[in-house]
Amino acid sequence: MNRFEKTILQVVPRLNTGGAERTTLEIADAVVRAGGRALVACEGGRLAKDIEYAGGEILRLPVASKNPLTIWLNAGALAAIIKREKVDLIHARSRAPAWSAFAAARRTRIPFVTTYHGVYSATGKVKRLYNSSMLRGDRVIANSRFTAERVMDLGGVEPSRLAVIPRGVDIDLFDPKKVSQDRINQATAGWGLGENPGFRLLMPARISAWKGHETAIAALARLKGRFGPGATGQGAGLTLVFCGGAQGSEALEKRLRAASDESGVRAMIHFVGDCADMPAAYAWADAVLSPSTEPEAFGRVAVEAGAMEKPVIASRHGGARETVVDRETGYLAAPGDAKALAAAIEQVMVMPAAARRVMGEKARERASSLFSSAAMCDATLGVYRSLLSEQA
């Protein structure tokens, strides 16, 4: 990695879980490894210690607030940090912090970068104005071509200011060769799977209305005659694990459990909550499910599963059309279509194990070449270098 002896200030609301938070950590680590200083202004969170372990510095500010007065005060605080710490560039990853960062960047005359980690709804003039903070970067980064197209549709961003940098996955962390059977056993010990779960289908997603849990349950209802408990015939036996916490959607989880009971597939489905060792969870699976009913801006699951050499069955929209090659690294099905999803699951289940293995190998090759964290970090630092050279 080329030397990059600059001070970069990233601004993100909180450092818990999610694409923006994980990418903040990865960029902080890359800046430090390149010889620079990585500052992160946020309200704290679980990943704050990881930032510090990587050599970054946490500056606590109430940047998650949408209160106009707080946003204005945060702008002054960020401007003071920029001057005190001799910050070379500021990078915002969410709308409210972007307003503060934009104002601070203009006051101190340093470059300002924004990243679209998702596509925001824009109903009404006030909401469109609020969202427009993300369009004001000297460079605007989109995490997929799908996101870039949506950003261009908003208008006001010249192509020269827009950069497409897909979100990255840690290819070394998500490496099937580094996951032992003991790790798999430990990660899945509390799942209550029994000795013979049959075909192992994993759906890593928090409980949310648009992640596609209801479609998955309806798809299993279509398959239970062939693959449910007591079924006979080719490939009998199918277990689906919903891996992800409710995170405030406990009422929805209750409805999903009731739906699985009513559909007669409760014995085939396990709600296991969050998993601390996701590489091991992927390693347990034969295939991975990502049936979102709304388009995801990127879709981390498809790339992580691909890196673990697992075929992915995803919805044919959003970022999945870029991360999954239909019938080559996985299958794409119509969003919200239980019949199409069931057909795709069955195709993966009945294919020879050798063919499924080849599909998984192609998925890892694609993830390694197009969607690695290293490539994402190099491209982002390239944006920083370009902006700083323009200002020199």
- 2 within some domain: no
Is 42 a member of any domain? yes
Contact 272, 242 (CB under 8 A): yes
Regarding whether 350 and 231 lie in a shared domain, the answer is yes
Domain that holds residue 207: 176-370
Residue 103 is assigned to a structural domain of this protein: yes
Whether 1 is covered by a domain: the verdict is no
Report how far residue 9's alpha carbon sits from residue 88's, in angstroms, rounded to the nearest whole number. 8
* Residues 75 and 60 both lie in one domain: yes
Reported as a single tens digit per residue, the pLDDT across 25-59 is 999 999 999 999 999 999 999 899 999 999 999 99
Rounded Cα distance, 109 and 352, in Å: 60
Residue 328, domain CATH: 3.40.50.2000
Q: Is 18 helix (H, G, I), strand (E, B) or coil?
A: coil
Q: Is 18's pLDDT higher than 80? A: no
Percent of the chain with pLDDT over 70: 97
State the chain's mean pLDDT as an integer.
Answer: 93
Same domain, 29 and 161: yes
**24 within 8 A of 51, measured Cβ to Cβ:** yes
Q: Is residue 86 situated within a structural domain?
A: yes
Domain shared by 380 and 285, yes or no: no
Q: What is the number of structural domains in the chain? A: 2
The pLDDT assigned to 230 comes to: 58
pLDDT, tens digit, for every residue of 113-129?
999 998 877 778 888 88
User: How high is the pLDDT of residue 234?
Assistant: 46
Same domain, 190 and 237: yes
Please name every residue paired with 132 in a beta bridge, in sequence order, or none if there are none: none
On whether both 193 and 315 belong to a single domain, the answer is yes
Task: Give residue-wise pLDDT tens across range 155-165.
Answer: 878 899 999 99
Same domain, 317 and 350: yes
Say if residue 88 is in the same domain as residue 159.
yes
283 in the same domain as 231: yes
Residues 128 and 217 placed together within one structural domain of the fold:
no
